[in-house]
Amino acid sequence: MRTIYEQEMKDLAAQVKDVSVTVGMDSRCHIDLSGIVEEVKAQYDAIAARSLEEAEAYSRSQLEEQAARSAEFGNSLQSSRCEIADLNVRIQKLRSQILSVKSHCLKLEENIKAAEEQGELAFQDAKAKLAQLEGALQQAKQDMARQLREYQELMNTKLALDIEIATYRKLVEGEESRMDLPSATVVSAVQSRPRVGESTCPKTHGGEAQGTGDHDPKGIV
């Protein structure tokens, strides 16, 4: 404020020095120059006082404005410092998270690579097993076809044997039925003749032997 006041006083003094006053003098009248000088001095003193007050008011307003701006700047600076500190903390957290994510990505890449290798090995193994299964399936089909042919041959053989057995059975049954009829007639004849001979048995004993000899079972068979 003092510097501003002194500067304004110097500017005012320079303005006063540059003012030129032309006074017309009338020799017939008496002019009181001291009163004029005092009046001008009073006017300049009033102007200087008013300028000083204005300068002081302006200086005070400027100082208050500067103080308010300083306080605002201080608050803004403090807030900026807090924000910077918060941002630094966040940056550190983000850096740690980035490092963690990078390490996790590296682990995932290693796991993916290992999984791809294992998948390739599993695919090759599955492919080999599939080839084995296809070979086993082809062999099973061939075995099944062979067994089917053998079964067909066996069925044909069984059918032929069944036909042959049925034929022999029919032949045997026919032969047995043919053989059973005469034997029944002979048995009835043998059973009937001794009754007739019983009446002639007291007369001659040779007739029974002759009748028995005529029906020899061995001869019938």
Tokens standing for 16? 């006063």
H or E element: which one contains 32?
none
User: Residue 31 pLDDT more than 70?
Assistant: no
Residue 18 confidence (pLDDT): 58
Are the beta carbons of 161 and 172 closer than 8 angstroms? no
Predicted confidence band at 198 (pLDDT cuts at 50, 70, 90)?
Answer: very low
User: Residue 50 pLDDT more than 70?
Assistant: yes
Nearest to 38 by CA among 29, 30, 46: 46
Residue 8 confidence (pLDDT): 76
Rounded to an integer, the average pLDDT of 185-205 is 43
Count other C-beta atoms under 10 Å from residue 55's C-beta. Answer: 19
User: Residue 41 pLDDT more than 50?
Assistant: yes
Residue 87 confidence (pLDDT): 93
pTM of the model as a whole: 0.34
User: Residue 117 pLDDT more than 60?
Assistant: yes
User: Residue 205 pLDDT more than 60?
Assistant: no
Provide, rounded to the nearest whole percent, the portion of the chain with pLDDT above 70.
Answer: 72
Provide, rounded to the nearest whole percent, the portion of the chain with pLDDT above 90.
Answer: 33
H or E element: which one contains 9?
helix 2-18
Rounded to an integer, the average pLDDT of 21-42 is 65
Nearest to 52 by CA among 117, 95, 2: 2
Q: CA 44, CA 19: separation in Å to the nearest integer? A: 12
Are the beta carbons of 187 and 221 closer than 8 angstroms? no
Kindly report the average pLDDT of the chain as a whole number: 76
Residue 160: Cβ-neighbour burial (10 angstroms; 0-12, 13-18, 19+) = exposed
Per-residue model confidence as pLDDT tens digits over 124-140 = 999 899 999 999 999 99
Q: CA 179, CA 187: separation in Å to the nearest integer? A: 13
Out of 61-70, 73-82, 169-178, which region has the weakest mean confidence (pLDDT)?
Answer: 169-178
Residue 180 confidence (pLDDT): 66
Q: Which residue has the tokens 């308010």?
A: 68
Residue 212 confidence (pLDDT): 41
Q: At what angle do helices 2-18 and 33-200 cross, to 10 degrees?
A: 140
Q: CA 217, CA 221: separation in Å to the nearest integer? A: 6
In the chain, DSSP assigns E strands to: none
* Residue 13 CA neighbour count, 13 Å, CB half: 6
| Dihedral angle computed from the Cα positions of residues 52, 58, 61 and 65, in that order, rounded to the nearest 10 degrees | -140
